[in-house]
């Protein structure tokens, strides 16, 4: 990879793309180069507000631009598969928003195509790159506080009801699990590994998507993870690990840059973290490092991790009878 700035292209300039672009401005050797929308006007408007050089009114057209180094896919879940394959056909490296796709079969095909084409592909699951999450994992792994006994993590907000919006519309992959429940599920997998047993229940709404989803992971050593997500109620959005000798609590909203409190019987300490932007800069820096090293797979958010995550999400959906 060349020495100059890495040229990013944004495919699907919606809400998260704007935040990602803000974070990208904090990445030293990154450049927001191109933006593609299904409408040229929207691409131009995005560039005016968030930066970027070249606006395209079609995704396909942008992928013909030879200067593009890496594409950030930020379309609704159900299009991640199609847009990843489109980028791969054009030989473009990809950072694709979570969930990687709608089911394991799609993720497998995305991975096998990336391997075949020898092109970099990573799911934009930003959690493992965040300093406060890395701190928590280091504290747990240090063994200083004993073993984990229990994890509880929730993520809930009260989304304005919109039958045709991405959060409620089934054909766009609506529901809480794939949108935000994915974070508590990932945290459990990241800290505890694959569970022995998964139990789940959900409340499906008028549009037949899970408005509320409760998941319990059980591990052979008696450890449990209680995970909750909802798009119809604001919930604390806190993650707490109960260990043998301490409680480690990540404050609200724990999935984005937040503070960490460690409470032992004798002492309580809180650690804050300096973060320059929304926190997407950490995953973006990692992608750049991988590209500069000529890698085609992340050594942090690996294919194995994405496959594990989508398999568990599939299993939960089977349990709550939610089919897309
Ligand atoms: N990592 C995070 O923290 C985070 C946070 C929020 C969302 N996300 C993920 O990012 C993805 C997008 O979420 P968002 O909230 O940014 O969505 P959004 O605001 O609705 O933006 C999605 C964009 O996709 C494009 N698009 C293409 N086909 C579409 C269709 N048929 N219907 C609607 N939009 C379509 C649209 O751009 P054009 O029509 O202009 O091309 C739209 O602006 C989701 O998969 C979500 O899980 C991640």
Ligand 1-lining residues (CB < 6 angstroms)? 12-17, 37-39, 42, 74-77, 79, 97-98, 124, 126, 166, 179
Predicted confidence (pLDDT) per residue in 169-183, tens digit: 999 999 999 999 999
Question: Beta-carbon neighbour count of residue 123 at 10 Å?
Answer: 30
Kind plus residue range of the DSSP H or E element containing 88: helix 80-89
What pLDDT is stored for residue 2 in this prediction? 65
Residues 56, 313: Cα–Cα separation, whole Å: 34
With 0-12 / 13-18 / 19 or more C-beta atoms within 10 angstroms meaning exposed / middle / buried, residue 262 is buried
Residues 191, 96: Cα–Cα separation, whole Å: 23
What pLDDT is stored for residue 282 in this prediction? 98
Whose CA is closest to atom 43 on ligand 1?
14
Q: Is the pLDDT of residue 3 over 90?
A: no
Whose CA is closest to atom 30 on ligand 1?
76
Which token pair is 253? Answer: 């909203």
Class of domain 128-278: alpha beta
Predicted confidence (pLDDT) per residue in 138-168, tens digit: 999 999 999 999 999 999 999 999 999 999 9
Q: What is the DSSP string of 170-227?
A: GGGT-SHIIIIIHHHHHHHHHHH-S-SEEEEEEEE-TTSSEEEEEEEEE-TTS-EEEE
CA 2 remoteness from chain centre = 28
Q: Looking at the CA of residue 125, tell me the nearest atom of ligand 1.
A: 1
Residues 89, 60: Cα–Cα separation, whole Å: 10
Q: Is the pLDDT of residue 227 over 90?
A: yes
Domain edges within the chain: 6-125, 128-278
Asked if 123 and 186 touch (Cβ cutoff 8 Å), the reply is: no
Bridge partners of residue 262, in order along the sequence: 248, 269
Rounded CA Rg of the chain: 20
Q: Is the pLDDT of residue 1 over 70?
A: no
Question: In Å, how far are 240, 241, 272 from 140, measured between CA atoms?
Answer: 12, 9, 17
Class of domain 6-125: alpha beta
Asked if 231 and 218 touch (Cβ cutoff 8 Å), the reply is: no
Q: What's the gap in Å between 78 CA and the centre of ligand 1?
A: 10
Predicted confidence (pLDDT) per residue in 246-291, tens digit: 999 999 999 999 999 999 999 999 999 999 999 999 999 999 999 9
Which token pair is 234? Answer: 């604001």
Predicted confidence (pLDDT) per residue in 67-112, tens digit: 999 999 999 999 999 999 999 999 999 999 999 999 999 999 999 9
pTM of the model: 0.98
């Amino acid at each position: 990879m060349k020495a100059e700035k890495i040229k990013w292209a944004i495919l699907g300039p919606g809400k998260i793309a704007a935040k990602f672009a803000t974070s990208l401005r904090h990445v030293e050797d990154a450049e927001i180069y191109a933006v593609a929308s299904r409408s040229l006007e929207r691409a131009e408007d995005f560039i005016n507000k968030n930066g970027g050089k070249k606006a395209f009114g079609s995704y396909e057209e942008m992928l013909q631009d030879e200067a593009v180094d890496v594409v950030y896919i930020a379309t609704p879940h159900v299009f991640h598969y199609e847009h990843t394959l489109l980028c791969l056909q054009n030989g473009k490296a990809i950072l694709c928003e979570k969930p990687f796709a709608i089911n394991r079969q799609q993720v497998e095909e995305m991975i096998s195509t990336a391997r075949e084409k020898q092109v970099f592909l990573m799911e934009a699951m930003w959690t493992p790159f965040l300093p406060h999450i890395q701190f928590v994992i280091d504290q747990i792994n240090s063994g200083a506080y004993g073993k984990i006994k229990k994890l509880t993590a929730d993520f809930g907000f009260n989304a304005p009801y919109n039958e045709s919006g991405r959060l409620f519309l089934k054909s766009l992959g609506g529901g809480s699990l794939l949108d935000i429940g994915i974070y508590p599920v990932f945290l459990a997998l990241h800290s505890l590994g694959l569970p022995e047993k998964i139990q789940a229940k959900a409340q499906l709404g008028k549009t037949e998507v899970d408005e509320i989803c409760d998941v319990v992971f059980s591990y052979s050593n008696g450890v449990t993870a209680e995970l909750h997500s909802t798009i119809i109620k604001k919930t604390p959005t806190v993650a707490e690990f109960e260990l043998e000798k301490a409680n480690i609590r990540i404050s609200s909203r724990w999935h984005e840059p937040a503070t960490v409190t460690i409470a032992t019987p004798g002492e309580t300490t809180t650690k804050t973290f300096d973060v320059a932007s929304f926190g997407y800069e950490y995953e973006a820096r990692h992608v750049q490092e991988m590209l500069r090293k000529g890698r085609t797979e992340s050594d942090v958010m690996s294919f194995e991790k994405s496959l594990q995550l989508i398999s568990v999400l599939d299993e939960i959906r089977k349990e709550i009878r939610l089919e897309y």
